[in-house]
Structure 1
């Protein structure tokens, strides 16, 4: 590193020398010209004529180059104005610190002082941005002529990089240290300053939703407890435009059709290290759908048939997404009927008194345009076909603007690109259009090392690798290892999401797990693989079919005695099965959804070879909605399962149901269910289970929302029961008993990962059920 004091002294002398020499040279030149004019006759006052030239001081620049820039020729007359212009050109060339022109009769003397060469470039004072990043911004180069103008441009580029990082108070000073042989060391001295954080996010004009609720919508966050680690609380001007759009979309999705975000005003604190960002909103009134009809005058359109496709109901809260989905349904119906260029155009009629919006979907003929071709640019890694398959339209199909917009959204949703623009332009004929796709790729892989802890599983470490665009083919490859004090598991998964160029996901996974929990009298091991196909069967539903092969081994620990129910499970057994899972979900669709449902039903059929024969059926129904102006989120879930053994077989513990924290909180894993009272063993599992869980999540008013802490209350009820065959003489209780527990939770979304603290109390339990009154879960990646 170069000493700070020396850099300052060198720059002071360098800057003073440059300015003084330039003024001195200009003064001598003007005096010489003035003397020549006074001594010459009146006829010769405006012109010079030099026969010889001498250039002094140039070591790198050729004499011919100097004279060419000056613009003089031996024996040719030149005016004083032309000579001055040449002088200015030499000064502006960026090659010389000083230039002097001295006429000596028929001889012209040119004295120059060349700019030094850059011997070394150093960066001092930087901590937040590494040298390697800054060096890519610097245009000045070693062994090239030093240019003060370029050094200033370099300083400005470095300052801009710090501004993007939120450090608007950062200053960059280019300084030089003179060395021998007309060389200089160029030093960029950086004072990084503090991050310009968003100290306060506030809103004006919002009545329906609180400041706290609206802050959750924005990408920008207030500076909070973890301001050192959180980048989203840094003020970035470009992010404000996104936040403005997010606010508008949030209100529109909740029926506020006239909402306007009038302004977004950032105010910089005098210290330049903090911003106060204020959004001024005009909410308007909330509207609901009134009458919703499909209308048409086209002879090919059966209006009642299209009306039956209308899913929007009067009284529903107005939502532009609902209109867009309805348009897609109507146009898809027309396509299935072989009607091309039919467009569903919504015509909205306001009823301000009732605060309703009547919508007529007018089915009419659109403009006859065809897609000539789809051009894709910017994808260096991702294959063209990965992008093309997001289009339902191919070359030669009728052009549908809404379908092109929907394809653009699907491309952005892939997560492969930081930017994806899809635009249509006129084709080679008036009846054709060309669709241009311009993308900018971003990293799609992740490598993580982490630690986790829970009261139930203890301390563990994890390693995971994931690539969502493997080899640019849009494939998913992931690998994970999780180890704990009592459990370990590893998994390798590969997914081809567009098998056979269809919306058909082919998956293959290999798994291995071991368990040696202290609460058990045995150890277990499981290994196997699973392959499946998943495809859509509706707008919100998908079906997954699979084949699974697993080998399970149960080993009795030395010094322990197993329950007779478990003795039959000792050893190794193979389970070969096929199955399916049907899922219907409207949760997490749209911008910050207020409500939705999730339904899941699946069955596993074992007996396709192997040792086990059974049918395992599971189901789940879950609903979510928000109340109190989206401040409180309510969740309710009901699920259950049935394991039915076939033939003369009985179920193994590896295939039975066990409770855990995902089924009922307040009890240990395996803490409820069938129990051999003679052996104090609670790990028998059951052939049946049901569970109901209800939870409310809400902000904690006394804690600022930027800390990411919310509260929860919950009520869980569950039962695990039923065994196939209980050996004679065993004292096993496998009856149905509905356990229940209530609790409160604290959810903390920290910079190192999500934390959840649960404090639970059992309401209904049997004397041998095992409670767990506190649970802490930590998971982090680094």
Structure 2
């Protein structure tokens, strides 16, 4: 028992000792927590008697305190100190920031971003430094910002993407200089152009891939890929091409045409794109029944129907509908009917694939043009833009006229962007028309070279400005020189004289030849003035006056057995001859309206009357009639041109070699320039004398040769028939000036290259005289660089 009691006593004492130790530990822990809690709460709040700012050089202390948002004597927590730190750092003014409490003083240390000393670009060849500098936002003598520099690098990369260089990289780097300045350098790796290796179509049955490629602004890479810039992949250009394709099909009657999708795949080597247009053509529709109706008592629908030029059975085109609406609305204005609107009602006949058009003539809302606001034109005068509108302030508002004016503004070629929108004015019956434009360069200085079988190698320099002094006027000057010919030309055109649709033209010309296919030299100078104005939708009339002088000299003795022509001797003896002539010219061109995209007719007729002073007295008449059409789904172009002229000398005077007609290679292929017509001594080596009359007929057919479209090579066949004949006086020289028809046939290769259009003519003369000079091959090329 004594042992058991002793054991229990030992166990009880041990447990008691453990409890005491645990109690002591808990007491100490609670005591320490109690002591520590007031200190922790006290460490999270601060009160500063002063704020000290260190490291700032350009930024005022007050500015930094404003970002910090901490006032003296204000109690702040640790979280508020962290917020102040973030606000100062996020200001973008400092490279590094630290906020340190030191007793009753708050110390804010900052390190300002350096100032950009200069900005440079390295590695760029395709884009100039000046162009890149306009893109970036970083500027010299401004604070350097890493985020802005990175954004600039992204913008520069996008600029190279627009050039088709999708592998281009731009890396911004800084070079530190003294006084906290840095040089910002954009290191550029331009990479290669990612071209469109294949441009194809899926779903087209009517028009071939080759024909559709000619429509698109985007081009397929070809042999001149290093020169042509439109064979690169640019997404914005593809979107434009989708609309161009739709317009192409709509103008040919395919009203259901759709571009279903455009697939662009980049090659595995990332050096080329494969672009595929997935299209649905639909059926071609024609015009069905055309009618006009109106419920207005003052409108005679039959009278308005006489303004309709659309014929049933013709291929449908929305241009014809728009033109008809414009004619009807103009007729209403001429009759004093304001606010007349013409809307087309289209009835679709799927059975016979026709569209019945009913023009509904109604009265629109009484809305007036309050004013026309123009913005963005720094150089172009307001009046140049305003005269494209057929309405002025106070006129009835016609949405169609506003759309037409917008199109005319874009067609000026003065602006890269021209947006015209209408918005409500100061009242519900008032409209304000806003015109927002972005100007583009309109002048150019050209250096050129040309080569022709007749004239050989020639060079030219020219200056042209289509918006002279922002007045919408055009000015051209050119100097051309070749081995035997030289010329200087200038012209000045005012397109809207006194704000009217009258073109005023001044022109001058000075030209000399030195034995050009002859044994004499010539000098000719002229100055002209003309007025041109429309007399119909497609017709224009020009009234003109020209004062000129011409002279032939240095008449050399021809090689025996030929003798000096008495005709040329008589003209040389006259010396300088002054010609004063007044004339007119009429032109009719259906291509102006574009109602038929596959065909066009051109007519020209003019007469000049010399004798209003000066030494020459004659009537000179010229005429031209030409027609062109496309057949076989627009793959083949057929063209026919008939041209002629006649000079009738008056008062016993004789025509001169400088005024008579000649047929050069452009008018009559298969023969040399000055190669046919009356000739001195009726010998192939004699001087060409020209003729008082000429007539020529040219027939052409152009067609693809089956080569890839990107090569730009087409073939052609031609047949020319013509002649030059008639002299006032042969002086008994025995010159044959009677009518003899000549003809030639040939084959052409037309090559559109990056350095200019080339034309190779292989021809054979079928009919000719013994003294004619024929030619079996001719090459012409002209380029501007």
TM-score normalised according to structure 1 size: 0.91
Residue of structure 1 equivalent to 2:19: none
- Residues 4-83 of structure 1 aligned to structure 2 (within 5 Å): 41=39, 43-44=41-42, 46-51=44-49, 55=53, 57-58=55-56, 61=59, 66=64, 68-83=66-81
Q: 2:775 aligns with which of 760, 772, 776?
A: 772
Question: For 2:571, what is the secondary structure of its paired residue?
Answer: coil
**Counterpart check, 1:500 vs 2:498:** yes
Distance 1:298 1:127, change over 3 A: same
Question: For 1:321, what is the secondary structure of its paired residue?
Answer: helix
Residue of structure 2 equivalent to 1:698: 703
Distance 1:528 1:448, change over 3 A: same
> In structure 1, what is the Cα distance between the partners aligned to 2:727 and 2:714?
41
Residue of structure 1 equivalent to 2:632: 628
**Counterpart check, 1:742 vs 2:742:** no
Residue of structure 1 equivalent to 2:729: 725
> In structure 2, what is the Cα distance between the partners aligned to 1:403 and 1:68?
57
Distance 1:649 1:169, change over 3 A: same
- The alpha-carbon deviation at position 276 of structure 1 amounts to 2.1
Distance 1:682 1:716, change over 3 A: farther
Residue of structure 1 equivalent to 2:564: 562
Residue of structure 2 equivalent to 1:380: 378
How big is each residue's C-alpha offset from its partner over 1:147-177, in whole Å with a ceiling of 9 and x where there is no partner? 3222212212221222222222111112234
**Counterpart check, 1:683 vs 2:685:** no
Is contact 2:605-2:624 (8 Å) kept? yes
Q: 1:224 aligns with which of 207, 222, 228?
A: 222
Residue of structure 2 equivalent to 1:433: 431
Distance 1:553 1:144, change over 3 A: closer
> In structure 1, what is the Cα distance between the partners aligned to 2:344 and 2:578?
58
- The alpha-carbon deviation at position 375 of structure 1 amounts to 1.7
Residue of structure 2 equivalent to 1:581: 585
- Residues 168-247 of structure 1 aligned to structure 2 (within 5 Å): 168-178=166-176, 183-247=181-245
How big is each residue's C-alpha offset from its partner over 1:477-504, in whole Å with a ceiling of 9 and x where there is no partner? 1111111111111112111111122111
Residue of structure 2 equivalent to 1:611: 615
How big is each residue's C-alpha offset from its partner over 1:83-121, in whole Å with a ceiling of 9 and x where there is no partner? 221222233233444444444444545454444444554
Q: 1:653 aligns with which of 648, 654, 657?
A: 657
> In structure 1, what is the Cα distance between the partners aligned to 2:391 and 2:142?
55
Distance 1:144 1:689, change over 3 A: closer
- Residues 250-649 of structure 1 aligned to structure 2 (within 5 Å): 250-560=248-558, 561-570=563-572, 571-587=575-591, 589-590=593-594, 593-649=597-653
Distance 1:525 1:274, change over 3 A: same
Question: For 1:546, what is the secondary structure of its paired residue?
Answer: strand
Is contact 1:587-1:624 (8 Å) kept? no
Point out the structure with max Rg over C-alpha. 2
How big is each residue's C-alpha offset from its partner over 1:642-680, in whole Å with a ceiling of 9 and x where there is no partner? 111223222222221111122200101121111333664
Once structures 1 and 2 are overlaid, which stretch shifts more, 584-593 or 211-220?
A: 584-593
Is contact 2:541-2:587 (8 Å) kept? yes
Is contact 1:166-1:235 (8 Å) kept? yes
- The alpha-carbon deviation at position 186 of structure 1 amounts to 3.2
How big is each residue's C-alpha offset from its partner over 1:241-287, in whole Å with a ceiling of 9 and x where there is no partner? 21111111000100111111222333333444432222221111100
Is contact 1:140-1:150 (8 Å) kept? yes
Residue of structure 2 equivalent to 1:159: 157
Is contact 1:511-1:529 (8 Å) kept? yes
> In structure 1, what is the Cα distance between the partners aligned to 2:414 and 2:117?
43
> In structure 1, what is the Cα distance between the partners aligned to 2:100 and 2:303?
96
> In structure 1, what is the Cα distance between the partners aligned to 2:384 and 2:458?
38
> In structure 1, what is the Cα distance between the partners aligned to 2:762 and 2:54?
88
Residue of structure 2 equivalent to 1:673: 677
> In structure 1, what is the Cα distance between the partners aligned to 2:308 and 2:745?
43
Residue of structure 2 equivalent to 1:137: 135
- The alpha-carbon deviation at position 47 of structure 1 amounts to 1.8
Question: For 1:41, what is the secondary structure of its paired residue?
Answer: helix
> In structure 1, what is the Cα distance between the partners aligned to 2:138 and 2:613?
72
> In structure 2, what is the Cα distance between the partners aligned to 1:592 and 1:190?
50
- The alpha-carbon deviation at position 761 of structure 1 amounts to 1.0
How big is each residue's C-alpha offset from its partner over 1:500-539, in whole Å with a ceiling of 9 and x where there is no partner? 2211111111111112235312211111211111111110
> In structure 2, what is the Cα distance between the partners aligned to 1:110 and 1:117?
21
> In structure 1, what is the Cα distance between the partners aligned to 2:367 and 2:67?
60
Distance 1:688 1:102, change over 3 A: closer
- The alpha-carbon deviation at position 132 of structure 1 amounts to 2.5
How big is each residue's C-alpha offset from its partner over 1:396-427, in whole Å with a ceiling of 9 and x where there is no partner? 22211111111111111111111111112222
Distance 1:170 1:354, change over 3 A: same
Residue of structure 2 equivalent to 1:708: 712
Distance 1:55 1:655, change over 3 A: closer
Can you give the 5+ residue segments of structure 2 that lack an aligned partner in the other structure? 1-32
> In structure 2, what is the Cα distance between the partners aligned to 1:99 and 1:533?
75
Is contact 2:557-2:564 (8 Å) kept? no
Is contact 1:50-1:106 (8 Å) kept? yes
Once structures 1 and 2 are overlaid, which stretch shifts more, 446-455 or 48-57?
A: 48-57
Once structures 1 and 2 are overlaid, which stretch shifts more, 114-123 or 646-655?
A: 114-123
Once structures 1 and 2 are overlaid, which stretch shifts more, 121-130 or 92-101?
A: 92-101
> In structure 2, what is the Cα distance between the partners aligned to 1:698 and 1:683?
35
> In structure 2, what is the Cα distance between the partners aligned to 1:448 and 1:463?
6
The count of corresponding residues between Structure 1 and Structure 2 is 745
Residue of structure 2 equivalent to 1:4: none
> In structure 2, what is the Cα distance between the partners aligned to 1:589 and 1:420?
22
Question: For 2:395, what is the secondary structure of its paired residue?
Answer: coil
Residue of structure 2 equivalent to 1:146: 144
Distance 1:153 1:615, change over 3 A: same
Question: For 1:732, what is the secondary structure of its paired residue?
Answer: coil
Distance 1:612 1:445, change over 3 A: same
- The alpha-carbon deviation at position 313 of structure 1 amounts to 0.4
Once structures 1 and 2 are overlaid, which stretch shifts more, 356-365 or 149-158?
A: 149-158
- The alpha-carbon deviation at position 591 of structure 1 amounts to 9.0
Once structures 1 and 2 are overlaid, which stretch shifts more, 533-542 or 677-686?
A: 677-686
> In structure 2, what is the Cα distance between the partners aligned to 1:678 and 1:306?
63
Aligned-pair RMSD on alpha carbons?
2.3
- The alpha-carbon deviation at position 563 of structure 1 amounts to 1.4
- The alpha-carbon deviation at position 454 of structure 1 amounts to 0.3
Question: For 2:240, what is the secondary structure of its paired residue?
Answer: helix
Distance 1:103 1:244, change over 3 A: same
Question: For 2:200, what is the secondary structure of its paired residue?
Answer: strand
Question: For 2:226, what is the secondary structure of its paired residue?
Answer: coil
Question: For 1:535, what is the secondary structure of its paired residue?
Answer: strand
Distance 1:80 1:196, change over 3 A: same
Question: For 2:591, what is the secondary structure of its paired residue?
Answer: coil
Question: For 2:283, what is the secondary structure of its paired residue?
Answer: coil
Once structures 1 and 2 are overlaid, which stretch shifts more, 519-528 or 299-308?
A: 299-308
Is contact 2:538-2:592 (8 Å) kept? no
